[in-house]
């Protein structure tokens, strides 16, 4: 019964809510671990409708003893809460055994980003681009930084979705939602340059970016290209495709873009998700103030 309920819930996420395979898989791991613990703890198959808060607390205690971090524990509780919300909506339970659990609040981690000067140094550096691969790799970094798209969106981007005459591209994001992102003339020129070299080399395929055999890119390839470019440019700290998305959002807000506009460009469901970047820019302003303003430099007497 428990396994069937979990499977129904995962199918609901996959087919009705259009959650990504990665997200559905993560929910599945958490919930099967939960059901497995309950079955092993009692020595028999467990009815999810009979689970109480003490059972959930016992599971969390076992995970904590096994070394799971507070962040991981919070995620697993959210998975259980989501399952029981699903059951409550279908009248299978009256309430959730995980609803009233209080977990320690986690400090907000500010997203890592690359400063504009560092990105300018990287993207303005001269390039002897004689091959489609060289131009493609440079263009991947430029496009991630100048549009804020996700790595998965870059990989699935189709040629017909990129319009250099209008200076815009159409991205298919999470839950199959489309959004339009504008871009400038420099990026448009690089796009046309890549298209010419790609087609001339016989590398054209179903997607805009391709490998030499015309097949789409894959996640680890995009990571290697971005990581290599940022590391070679001397960018300190984490150097991943998602850092370029963070850098796009930070640059937009620092430059005066409205929060709701950045939300739309990033494809966020809620403006609350976008607001984390305002903390980044405010933090940067505070650091600049402390290092520059004469009164901020004075020590208490």
Q: Is 32 a catalytic residue?
A: no
Annotated catalytic residue: which of 12, 14, 158, 174? 174
Q: Angle at the Cα of 181 (from 208 to 232), degrees rounded to 5?
A: 65
Annotated catalytic residue: which of 136, 151, 195, 245? 245
241 and 144 Cβ atoms separated by less than 8 Å = yes
Q: Is 289 a catalytic residue?
A: no
The Cβ of residue 245 has, within 10 Å, a number of other Cβ atoms equal to: 21
Annotated catalytic residue: which of 277, 279, 289, 298? 277
Determine the Cα–Cα distance for residues 278 and 259; give it in Å rounded to an integer: 8
Q: How close are the terminal C-alpha atoms of the chain, in Å? A: 70
Annotated catalytic residue: which of 150, 195, 246, 263? 150
Determine the Cα–Cα distance for residues 193 and 191; give it in Å rounded to an integer: 5
Q: Is 293 a catalytic residue?
A: no
Q: Is 298 a catalytic residue?
A: no
Annotated catalytic residue: which of 74, 75, 158, 242? 242
Determine the Cα–Cα distance for residues 183 and 180; give it in Å rounded to an integer: 10
Determine the Cα–Cα distance for residues 115 and 228; give it in Å rounded to an integer: 17
Q: Is 105 a catalytic residue?
A: no
Determine the Cα–Cα distance for residues 289 and 294; give it in Å rounded to an integer: 9
Catalogue the active-site residues: 150, 174, 242, 245, 268, 277
């Amino acid at each position: 019964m428990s396994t069937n309920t979990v499977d129904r819930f995962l199918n609901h996420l996959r087919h009705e809510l259009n959650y990504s395979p990665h997200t559905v898989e993560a929910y599945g791991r958490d919930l099967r671990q939960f059901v497995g613990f309950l079955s092993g703890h009692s020595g028999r198959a467990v009815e999810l409708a009979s689970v109480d808060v003490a059972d959930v607390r016992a599971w969390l205690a076992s995970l904590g003893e096994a070394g799971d971090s507070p962040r991981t524990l919070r995620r697993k509780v959210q998975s259980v809460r989501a399952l029981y919300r699903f059951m409550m909506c279908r009248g299978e339970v009256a309430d959730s055994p995980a609803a009233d659990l209080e977990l320690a609040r986690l400090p907000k981690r500010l997203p890592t980003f690359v400063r504009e000067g560092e990105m300018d140094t990287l993207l303005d550096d001269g390039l002897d681009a004689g091959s489609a691969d060289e131009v493609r790799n440079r263009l991947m970094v430029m496009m991630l930084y100048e549009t804020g798209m996700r790595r998965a969106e870059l990989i699935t981007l189709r040629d017909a979705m990129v319009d250099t005459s209008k200076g815009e591209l159409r991205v298919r994001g999470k839950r199959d939602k489309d959004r339009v992102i504008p871009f400038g003339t420099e990026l448009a020129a690089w796009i046309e340059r890549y298209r010419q070299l790609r087609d001339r080399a016989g590398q054209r395929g179903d997607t805009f970016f391709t490998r030499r055999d015309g097949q789409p890119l894959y996640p680890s390839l995009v990571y290697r290209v971005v990581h290599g470019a940022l590391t070679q440019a001397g960018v300190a700290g984490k150097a991943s495709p998602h850092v370029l998305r963070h850098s796009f959002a930070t640059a937009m807000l620092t430059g005066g873009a409205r929060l709701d506009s950045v939300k739309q460009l990033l494809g966020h469901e809620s403006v609350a998700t976008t607001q984390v970047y305002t903390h980044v820019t405010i933090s940067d302003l505070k650091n600049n103030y402390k290092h520059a303003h004469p009164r901020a430099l004075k020590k208490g007497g």
